Structure 1
């Protein structure tokens, strides 16, 4: 503890010295701290969308904490640079190898990213942050938000993002969130419900606390005709996505409509894929519930479907719901915390059913399968809903936030809250 207090004392002294010399905030330079820019997932896709919008008028760099693939899964938008703190596609020197084998000291053990980082990434993140003099830094998950709040120097505008929800974090992570998020210049949630949760919990709020949803970009493929006997589900094979519940829901649907198929796009750890495949086989669904792997042309796949199914136990803000809606595909979803209920209006652009109730999900799927007119009406309204989340509409809200944060001098923005 004595060493910790001494280290924080030194950090405060360095920040005080920097604050006296800090330049006027520069919102023309934006860096985004992301776990894995070349990976596959909703957060990565939405961050790339945001980076592409900001790069229209700004210098934008994505700082990827790790790199485990040689090529990006999603295309990098024009004008966006990507740098890597820990490039695991290359051989490390002996010191780097040793540091990479030691656990992180800055990311809480209870944070999901903990297993993907190390002492090496700690040191390189801190070095990266301390090297900044001005500009905007957007961090994209709790562990990175906590590091940004602690180590970003005066003169750098700091914005934290929440891509899941406050109530899915462990008590240990929430304790640190309460302690440090007040040091951020702004914090952005994806849903209104989560925004209210943060307002109640944060002892010292950031300079700006607001909701900005993710944007949906134009996908390849036409608007779905809704005549194909295909239901689609998309997501990583993790517990939160509830694909085990989807297997249970699909059993009665397949029995009632054996000519329909459910195509599941996404991947997971090999063990997770094996378990899901075994569940499907045990349920006798191997011919109608198909694991399709990942696809970089998900718009084309949605265009060939008639229903989109969401079986998640919880969602931050499901981009795939909006992507399905943009193709005119009606969505059937558990009304789980918190995202689906903020996008889906029951009986208007989709159907919401009680969370974790496979029987209710099955009933709603059968209803849409059996009612072509209802599918069409919900699909038409879904297209209109998706238009409200266009990149131009959402990007304008980010532009307004950056303009507001850039109006003040760094000396006017005090780092609040204890370390």
Structure 2
């Protein structure tokens, strides 16, 4: 998979830990490096735990020393200097981009002309500054705007009318997952598993806790394991305590290797209100583990198929999700069928397949 073109590509990401978009950025650094490109990575926060390839410029470490207005301006200058000194050909930006003043400066004065903006979420307003006319003026000059699903691309076109739109789905590193998933876990089976950022507005963990409480899983000895960090973690811990579920809901800190916990679970759960193309679903299916998911905004463009590689339920109350949990625990024939179909359903999202799509875009 080597490219004859040694373009210098800089990936800009919030961090290299915890979030799905961060995970995609780390995977992209690996696949672009494998294609023969010279890869550089800029992280806005000082948080690095995912594996990556390339030269890292950790702006987050500088931010921690001085996060004043003057410090922020200095970081913009440092970023501009870094991109110029490394002779970057193309920037690929995975960040949330909703602050108008700083984002217009970055797009117009810091980034090179050949910039690719990636949109990871159905909530597209997170990825474009609020002044529509100015956003259209600034972003139409970019090399491309890449969405992680076709439905997201359609939303962007309807709102902004951009023509240089592409859809490239998130990759999954099957070989890496196979090596990582065999480690031991600290939780005894059986359990169902959720992992991600504790952000209740999007991830709707309150619904998940209520649904587990309403389900039959407790009485059947099946625990719920939650893994991750985030601003609403204390809120969820309080809710678990108030419902008297501290013996059956286990809360673990973030780990850069959730795959053994996925692999040893009965299935994983997704309770989000909205998503892009969730890595948690791809990674679960890659482990051969089905998913019980609500029909989040944008679920139609995902890989989950009801009673094929998981269970899909309505996203309106805890009772619906509780029934989904009960179904996959109680119907052994359906469960085994979903397990059998899980891995096969995501093979088209391998690193090799997605790498070719990125290569075609970069060289176009």
Give yes or no for TM over 0.5.
yes
C-alpha separation in 1, matches of 2:111 and 2:282: 37
Partner of 1:212: 168
Structure 1 residue 88 displacement after superposition:
4.1
Which residue, out of 158, 178, 181, partners 2:136?
A: 178
Match of 1:296, SS state, is coil
2:221 aligned residue: 259
Question: In the alignment, what sits opposite 2:23?
Answer: 45
In the aligned structure 1, how far is the partner of 2:165 from the partner of 2:127? 21
Q: How does 1:259-278 map to 2 (within 5 A)?
A: 259-269=221-231, 272-278=232-238
Q: Does 1:135 align with 2:114?
A: no
Q: Does 1:121 align with 2:75?
A: yes
Change (3 A) 1:201 1:373: same
Bigger Rg over Cα: 1
What is the distance in 2 between the residues matched to 1:44 and 1:171?
18
Q: Deviations over 1:226-259 (max 9, x none)?
A: x942100011101211111111101122566340
Checking the alignment, whether the CA contact within 8 Å between 1:321 and 1:340 is kept in structure 2 is: no
CA contact (8 A) 1:191 1:339 kept: no
CA distance in structure 1 between the aligned counterparts of 2:309 and 2:250, rounded to whole angstroms: 26
1:307 pairs with 2:267: yes
Q: Deviations over 1:98-142 (max 9, x none)?
A: xx3128xxxxxxxxxxxxx93333333344455565511111124
For residue 45 of structure 2, what is the aligned residue in structure 1? 66
TM-aligned CA deviation for residue 45 of structure 1? 1.2
In structure 2, what is the Cα distance between the partners aligned to 1:182 and 1:89?
Answer: 30
1:163 aligns with 2:124: no
With normalisation by structure 2, the TM-score equals: 0.86
- For residues 96 and 128 of structure 2, the distance between their equivalents in structure 1, rounded to whole angstroms, comes to 13
Aligned length: 345
Q: Distance in 2 between matches of 1:221 and 1:171?
A: 36
In structure 2, how many angstroms separate the alpha carbons of the residues matched to 1:194 and 1:318?
A: 13
What root-mean-square deviation, in Å, do the aligned CA atoms of Structure 1 and Structure 2 show? 2.7
Residue 415 of structure 1: aligned partner: none
- Structure 2 CA distance for partners of 1:120 and 1:153, relative to 1, 3 Å: closer
Q: Which runs of 4+ in 1 moved over 6 A?
A: none
**Local SS of the residue matching 1:246:** helix
8 Å contact from structure 1 (residues 133, 153) kept in 2: no
Instruction: Give secondary structure in 1 for the equivalent of 2:140.
Output: helix
Provide the C-alpha distance between the structure 1 equivalents of 2:307 and 2:217, rounded to a whole number of angstroms.
Answer: 25
Kept after mapping to 1: 8 A contact 2:265/2:289? yes
CA contact (8 A) 1:317 1:340 kept: no
